[in-house]
């Protein structure tokens, strides 16, 4: 790894520990014991916000919950692999995830703690700016940080609500679904009752507050204030976030507006240049892919993650399927089964996919290969990092294509999809005919997902047959673009996509099969046990019986009090 990347990972992940001590309450003292810990200058605010970007992502638990990974113990004869971590089994079975230690990476606890820590940082920054100026939004020294703090706070809540609550349905239905605590104040007490209505919001209210924070901050972002914009909410990243937020909210006009702002007048030029990727070594591949100056990398997030090691454990992987157990071949769907205007492998991925021992044990794209930061080279110990891109030009382009489709611009949507295939080194043009041939309604190969948006919300827009096939193309491209990131799980939730999991324990011979339907409460991942133990109500994730149906006219009892 190049030294600059190591430095930035250290900056993004270790400053948080320094700032946590910095934010410790000193109310019991007449004055701070060390005035260097006071956030009393614009520069200190900017430094503080650097620590607000979390060192965790929900990618692993979302990938295990979704339909990208298969259980090799099922699809390969005579395999009896253990999961890399015990909680991976629980996630794949859609059980409450409890088999982990608080220091483990990629867990619900890691996500919940890191994202609320980031929210706390944003709140401290906002309070400090209020103390420095009567109007921080119009203060030339503070306005940019005011904008970054609000956009960051909005984004962190957005991820939390999409992981730990129901998908947004519509303004009326989402009032019936409990969300997550929306925290906008610095906490001064040790024990806070977050089940209080002051914090405990329904999904519709959480989305309203996200939008309020987003609009407060987005116009104030100033890229010139950043040393390395890609590690912060720069203008493109903020607009890409707004585009995705409004797509999930089905406000397609605003999605289009912000996607256009992020992509500019020449979206094709913003996309990743796969043909110029340096493939000499794994590190050169990673450094090119994670280049902070690449126009496609709107935001880069440095994390502690073991996803690479999970995939190399060869239990839950992208791999061949099983007709016996109704498991589609996800390697076909994601990289080698062709598309509407190409055959075989996605051209950009040829030579960039790696296997563990044999092809049948799984395959992964180099982008999840880990960076290892040694704390002691002699002892061989240190920290495992993976760099993620929460927002890219490619994903934003696919958000725009979906918005265009629902706004009646099917040709514009296909044009954007054509930009995407061209960026993946596909030479043939993309046409409606090619889309119709690939995404037939009778397809049993997994390219056409089982969608249930109308059951979730009667206000979902209607699409004709050609438009529906374009939608399946968009969802397929999003699935390819975001594999390993966990974003497929959010598409599964918002479209009510049915997921089938077949699994077999390492000491079992019997194969278990389970379906996650659009109305299954297990789509809401359980909040961490320590949060429940502290008094916050847990989610009722009881699997409905085969004859049970959920009525959207009745308020669901999503949360049950904890004694």
Look-up of token digits 């009525």:
551
Look-up of token digits 């009393």:
40
pLDDT band at residue 444 under the 50/70/90 scheme:
low
Is the pLDDT at 80 greater than 80, yes or no? Answer: yes
Over residues 469-490, the mean pLDDT reads 98
CB 494 within 8 A of CB 248: yes
CB 306 within 8 A of CB 59: no
% of the chain exceeding 90 in pLDDT:
76
pLDDT of residue 372: 82
pLDDT of residue 37: 67
Q: Name beta bridge partners: 364.
A: 354
- Name the phi and psi angles at 559, rounded to 5: -115, 140
* Burial 260-285, CB ≥16 within 10 A → b, else e: bbbbeeebeebbbebeeeeeeeeeeb
Helix axes 252-263, 393-406, angle to 10 degrees: 150
Please state whether the predicted TM-score (pTM) of the whole model is above 0.85: yes
Residue 386 — left, alpha, or beta (φ > 0 → left; ψ -120 to 50 → alpha)?
A: beta
Task: Retrieve residue 376's tokens.
Answer: 């002691």
pLDDT band at residue 544 under the 50/70/90 scheme:
low
Cα 390 to Cα 20, 54, 95, 155, 412, distances in angstroms: 24, 12, 26, 10, 25
- Pick the residue with more confidence: 188 or 462? 462
DSSP collapsed to 3 states, 308-326: HHHHHCCCEECCCCECCCC
Spell out the residues 6+ positions from residue 231 whose beta carbon is closer than 8 angstroms to its own: 8, 11, 12, 50, 53, 292, 299, 300, 302
Is the pLDDT at 4 greater than 60, yes or no? Answer: no
pLDDT band at residue 196 under the 50/70/90 scheme:
confident
Strands (E), 246-370: 297-304, 316-317, 353-356, 358-365
* Cα–Cα dist 459/481, whole Å: 28
- What is the C-alpha R_g of the chain? 23
Is the pLDDT at 7 greater than 70, yes or no? Answer: no
Task: Retrieve residue 402's tokens.
Answer: 């979906």
Is the pLDDT at 19 greater than 60, yes or no? Answer: no
- Averaged pLDDT score across all residues of the chain: 88
* Cα–Cα dist 109/112, whole Å: 5
pLDDT of residue 273: 96
* Cα–Cα dist 490/497, whole Å: 10
* Cα–Cα dist 37/75, whole Å: 56
pLDDT band at residue 187 under the 50/70/90 scheme:
confident
Q: Name all domains of the chain by residue range, CATH numbers in brackets.
A: 1-50+107-225 (1.25.40)
* Cα–Cα dist 48/45, whole Å: 5
* Cα–Cα dist 72/64, whole Å: 13
Helix axes 203-217, 143-164, angle to 10 degrees: 160
CB 395 within 8 A of CB 456: no
* Cα–Cα dist 128/130, whole Å: 5
**Strands 316-317, 70-71: pairing kind:** antiparallel
% of the chain exceeding 70 in pLDDT:
89
Considering only 86-95, 380-389, 421-430, 465-474, which range has the smallest mean pLDDT?
A: 380-389
Spell out the residues 6+ positions from residue 61 whose beta carbon is closer than 8 angstroms to its own: 91, 97, 106, 107, 108, 111, 163, 486, 525
Q: How far is CA 244 from the centre of its chain?
A: 11
* Cα–Cα dist 296/286, whole Å: 14
**Coil, helix or strand at residue 200:** strand
Task: Give the burial class of 455: count Cβ atoms within 10 A of its Cβ; 0-12 exposed, 13-18 middle, 19 or more buried.
Answer: middle
Q: Name beta bridge partners: 373.
A: 383
Cα 326 to Cα 165, 416, 454, 524, distances in angstroms: 28, 33, 25, 24
* Cα–Cα dist 131/306, whole Å: 41
pLDDT band at residue 229 under the 50/70/90 scheme:
very high
Torsion angle, alpha carbons of 258, 263, 264, 268, to 10: -150
CB 264 within 8 A of CB 203: no
Task: Retrieve residue 200's tokens.
Answer: 């405990």
Torsion angle, alpha carbons of 550, 97, 180, 166, to 10: -30
pLDDT band at residue 199 under the 50/70/90 scheme:
confident
Spell out the residues 6+ positions from residue 441 whose beta carbon is closer than 8 angstroms to its own: 448, 465
* Cα–Cα dist 95/521, whole Å: 11
CB 133 within 8 A of CB 142: yes
CB 192 within 8 A of CB 184: no
In tens, the pLDDT along 462-474 reads 999 999 999 999 9
């Amino acid at each position: 790894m190049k030294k600059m990347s190591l430095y930035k990972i250290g900056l993004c992940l270790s400053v948080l520990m320094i700032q946590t001590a910095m934010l410790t309450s000193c109310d019991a003292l007449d004055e701070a014991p060390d005035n260097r810990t006071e956030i009393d200058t614009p520069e200190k605010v900017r430094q503080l916000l650097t620590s607000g970007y979390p060192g965790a992502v929900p990618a692993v638990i979302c990938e295990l919950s979704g339909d990208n990974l298969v259980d090799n113990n099922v699809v390969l004869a005579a395999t009896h692999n253990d999961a890399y971590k015990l909680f991976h089994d629980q996630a794949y079975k859609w059980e409450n995830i409890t088999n982990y230690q608080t220091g483990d990476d990629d867990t619900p606890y890691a996500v919940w703690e890191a994202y609320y820590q980031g929210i706390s940082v944003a709140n401290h920054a906002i309070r400090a700016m209020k103390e420095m100026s009567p109007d921080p939004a119009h203060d030339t020294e503070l306005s940019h940080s005011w904008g970054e703090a609000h956009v960051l706070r909005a984004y962190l809540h957005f991820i939390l609500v999409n992981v730990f609550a129901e998908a947004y349905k519509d303004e009326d239905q989402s009032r019936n679904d409990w969300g997550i605590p929306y925290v906008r104040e610095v906490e001064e007490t040790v024990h806070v009752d977050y089940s209080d209505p002051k914090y405990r919001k329904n999904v519709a209210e959480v989305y309203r507050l996200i939008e309020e924070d987003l609009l407060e901050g987005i116009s104030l972002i100033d890229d010139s204030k950043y040393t390395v914009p890609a590690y912060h909410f720069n203008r493109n990243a903020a607009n890409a976030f707004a585009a995705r937020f409004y797509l999930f909210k089905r406000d397609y006009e605003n999605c289009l507006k912000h996607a256009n702002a992020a992509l500019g007048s020449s979206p094709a030029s913003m996309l990743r240049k796969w043909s110029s990727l340096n493939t000499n070594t794994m590190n050169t591949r990673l450094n090119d892919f994670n280049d902070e100056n690449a126009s496609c990398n709107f935001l880069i997030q440095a994390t502690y993650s073991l996803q690479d090691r999970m995939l190399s454990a060869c239990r839950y992987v992208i791999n061949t399927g099983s007709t016996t157990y109704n498991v589609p071949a996800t390697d076909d769907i994601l990289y080698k089964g062709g598309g509407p205007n190409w055959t075989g492998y996605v051209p950009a991925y040829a030579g960039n996919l790696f296997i563990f021992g044999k092809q049948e044990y799984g395959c992964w794209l180099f982008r999840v290969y880990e960076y290892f930061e040694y704390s002691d080279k002699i002892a061989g110990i240190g920290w495992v990092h993976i760099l993620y891109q929460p927002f890219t030009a490619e994903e934003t382009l696919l958000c725009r294509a979906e918005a265009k489709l629902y706004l009646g611009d099917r040709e514009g949507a296909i044009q954007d999809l054509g930009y995407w295939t061209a960026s993946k080194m596909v030479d043939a043009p993309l046409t409606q005919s090619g889309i119709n041939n690939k995404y037939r309604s009778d397809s049993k190969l997994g390219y056409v997902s089982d969608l249930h948006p109308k059951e979730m919300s009667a206000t979902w827009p209607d699409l004709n047959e050609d438009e529906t096939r374009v939608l399946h193309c968009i969802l397929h491209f999003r699935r390819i673009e975001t594999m390993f990131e966990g974003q497929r799980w959010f598409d599964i939730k918002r479209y009510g996509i049915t997921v089938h999991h077949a699994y077999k324990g390492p000491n079992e011979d019997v194969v278990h099969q389970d379906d996650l339907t659009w109305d299954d409460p297990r789509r809401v991942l359980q909040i961490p046990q320590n949060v429940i133990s502290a008094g916050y109500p847990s989610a009722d994730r009881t699997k409905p019986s085969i004859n049970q149906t959920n009525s959207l006219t009745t308020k669901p009892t999503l949360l049950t009090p904890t004694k």
